[in-house]
Structure 1
Amino acid sequence: MNFTSDGSIWRPQRHPLVDITVVPDDEIMRHRRVALLELIQKHIRQVAMRIPQHKEKIMTIAERLRQEGHRNGLQQGKQEGQRLAALRIARSMLTDGFDRDTVLRVTGLAAADLASESH
């Protein structure tokens, strides 16, 4: 005895034979598209049935990515804030008459940072 994937007994189905030599090409193509659509729907249903099994994993991954993005954003914001503070200090030092090399050494800025700030 043969069984199907759902455990029921497999029974052969009778399909009528069709002489496709007399069937118009348009009709054959229409059946082909319907068969393709049915195949796609079958696999969509199978994937949809597996979604609940993977939902928790997907949510965990999404949360981990969100947290990583948050950490990266905080780090970038902190670095940008430090850079802006160093530029403010550099401007103040230059205004007070400190030479450029001293300003670069004290603030840790690159010469390009000061050059872009002066424009």
Structure 2
Amino acid sequence: YTRGFPLVDVTVIDDDEIMHHRRMAALTLLMKHIRQRDMMELLDRLPRVMVEWISPEQVRVLINYMVNAGEAPAPEFMRALAQRLPQHEDELMTIAQQLEQIGIEKGLKQGIQLGRQEGKLEGKLEGKLEVARTLLKMGMPHESVLEATGLTEEDLAQFRH
């Protein structure tokens, strides 16, 4: 390539103008809005250009782009899109279910990680309480036990009850 090429900033083009781009309208709309967390505002325009101007194979490519680029669309968006594009309903519903499953798995992983962190903290506290118990039995002054273990009065009060 020896010459420069034109660069178009689609983020500044009005959506109504994009709707007149015929075969490129769906892709241009998606490129403009792909990083949005909530793509629901595209539900009126996107299906219209997907049905009018592009082939079923291109629809599948655009769906793949939506799922893999930017923020993953919410399962609700895919379901609503499936209602507006009945000829692609099976594929869109499958993707919606997969997105839900991914969300469930992420939630489980976060829950497990949080549980582990809480377990470690509880284990450390129990260990410190055990050391404090031993030190007190050996006759070490109460204040010295607190200083040596880093426990608070409240922590030590748990041990006494």
The amino acid that maps onto 2:130 is R
Quick one: distance in 1 between partners of 2:154 and 2:117?
A: 22
Cross-structure match for 2:29: none
| TM-score of the superposed pair, with normalisation by structure 2 | 0.43
Whose RCO is larger (CA < 8 A, sep 6+)? 2
Cα deviation digits, residues 78-102 of structure 1 (max 9, x gap): 1000000000000000001111111
Unaligned 5+ segments in structure 1 are 1-6, 8-45
The alignment status of 1:52 with 2:98, answered yes or no, reads no
The alignment-based identity, stated in percent, is 31
Quick one: distance in 2 between partners of 1:101 and 1:92?
A: 14
Quick one: distance in 2 between partners of 1:104 and 1:51?
A: 59
**Offset at residue 113 of structure 1 (A):** 1.3
Larger Rg belongs to: 1
**Offset at residue 112 of structure 1 (A):** 1.1
Cross-structure match for 2:122: 80
Q: 2:158 aligns with which of 95, 116, 119?
A: 116
Q: 1:1-119, aligned counterparts within 5 Å?
A: 51-119=93-161
| TM-score of the superposed pair, with normalisation by structure 1 | 0.57
Which runs of at least 4 in structure 1 moved beyond 4 Å after TM superposition? none
**Offset at residue 51 of structure 1 (A):** 3.4
Unaligned 5+ segments in structure 2 are 1-50, 52-82, 84-88
